[in-house]
Chain A
Amino acid sequence: MFLEYTIVYKAENNYANWVKNAHWQFLIIPEQNETQKFISTDFKNSLNTKIEYSINGYGFKTIRLHPKIEFKQISFEASFRLIKKDVNPFDFNLDNHTENHYKKLIELEFQIEFERFLKKSNYTNLSDSQKRLFIFDKSLSIFDNLQNLNQWTFNYLFFNAEATDVNTKLSEIIAMQKGVCQDFTHLFCALARQNGIPSRYVSGYLHQGNGFFGDSQMHAWAEAYIPEIGWIGFDPTNNILVNSNHIKVSHGKDYSDCAPLKGILNTLGANKTKHSVQVLRQQQQ
Chain B
Amino acid sequence: MGTVENQIFSSYERNPDLYDEIYKKHGEIKKVYKKLFELYGEHSIEDYVNLNTKAKSSFFNQGITFQVYGKKETQEKIFPFDLFPRIIAPDEWEVIEKGAIQRSKALNLFLWDIYHDKNIIKDGIVPLDLIISSDNYLDQMVGFDPPGGIYNHISGTDIIKHNDGKYYVLEDNIRCPSGVSYVISNRTALKRALFGVFNHYQTYSVTNYAENLLDILETTKPKGIDIPITVVLTPGMYNSAFYEHSYLAKTMGVELVEGRDLVVENDFVYMKTIKGLIKVDIIYRRVDDAFLDPLEFNPDSALGVPGLFAAYIKGNVTLANAPGTGVADDKAVYTYMPQIIKYYLDEEPILNNVHTYHCSRPDELKYVLEHINELVIKPVDEAGGYGISIGNRLTSEEIEIVKKQVSESPRKYVAQPIMSLSVHPTYIEESQSFEQRHVDLRTFTILGQNKDFVLKGGLTRVALKKGNLIVNSSQGGGSKDTWVLKN
* A112 lies within 8 A of B118 (CB): yes
Q: Which A residues from 228 to 248 make CB contacts under 8 A with B?
A: none
Known interface pairs A108-B128, A262-B299; A23-B306 also in contact (CB < 8 Å): yes
Bound complex: CA of A23 vs CA of B306, how far in Å? 7
Residues of B within 8 Å of A253, CB to CB, are 139
- A–B complex contacts, Cβ < 8 Å, 11 sampled: A52-B267, A59-B313, A64-B295, A64-B306, A64-B307, A108-B124, A109-B122, A115-B132, A116-B132, A116-B142, A264-B306
Known interface pairs A112-B118, A115-B128, A115-B132; A54-B310 also in contact (CB < 8 Å): yes
* A112 lies within 8 A of B122 (CB): yes
* B128 lies within 8 A of A112 (CB): yes
B interface secondary structure, majority: loop
Decide yes or no whether A56 CB sits under 8 A from chain B. Answer: yes
Bound complex: CA of A208 vs CA of B128, how far in Å? 42
Decide yes or no whether B266 CB sits under 8 A from chain A. Answer: yes
* B307 lies within 8 A of A23 (CB): yes
Interface string of A104-116 (1 = CB under 8 A from B): 0000110110011
How many chain A residues touch B (CB < 8 A): the figure is 23
Residues of A within 8 Å of B266, CB to CB, are 52, 54
With both beta carbons as reference points, the residue of chain A lying nearest to B123 in the complex is identified as A108
Known interface pairs A23-B306, A52-B265; A112-B121 also in contact (CB < 8 Å): yes
Decide yes or no whether A62 CB sits under 8 A from chain B. Answer: yes
Contact-size category for B: 20 to 34
Decide yes or no whether B291 CB sits under 8 A from chain A. Answer: no
* A262 lies within 8 A of B122 (CB): no
Beyond the given pairs A52-B265, A266-B302, 6 more chain A to chain B contacts, judged by CB atoms under 8 angstroms and listed by A's residue number, are A54-B310, A56-B296, A57-B313, A59-B313, A62-B310, A116-B142
Give the tally of cross-chain contacts (CB within 8 A).
61
Decide yes or no whether A101 CB sits under 8 A from chain B. Answer: no
**Residues of chain A having any CB pair with chain B under 8 Å:** 23, 25, 52, 54-59, 62, 64, 66, 108-109, 111-112, 115-116, 119, 253, 262, 264, 266
Task: Name the distance in Å between B302's Cβ and chain A's nearest Cβ.
Answer: 8
Q: Closest 10 CB pairs between A and B? A: A57-B140, A23-B306, A54-B310, A264-B294, A25-B295, A115-B132, A57-B296, A112-B118, A116-B139, A264-B306
Interface string of B294-330 (1 = CB under 8 A from A): 1110010010001101100110000000000000000
Known interface pairs A55-B314, A108-B122, A119-B133; A66-B306 also in contact (CB < 8 Å): yes
Residues of A within 8 Å of B133, CB to CB, are 119
Residues of A within 8 Å of B267, CB to CB, are 52, 54
Bound complex: CA of A25 vs CA of B142, how far in Å? 22
With both beta carbons as reference points, the residue of chain A lying nearest to B138 in the complex is identified as A57
Task: Name the distance in Å between B74's Cβ and chain A's nearest Cβ.
Answer: 25
Known interface pairs A25-B295, A253-B139, A262-B295; A54-B128 also in contact (CB < 8 Å): no
Bound complex: CA of A3 vs CA of B121, how far in Å? 45
Residues of B within 8 Å of A23, CB to CB, are 294-295, 306-307
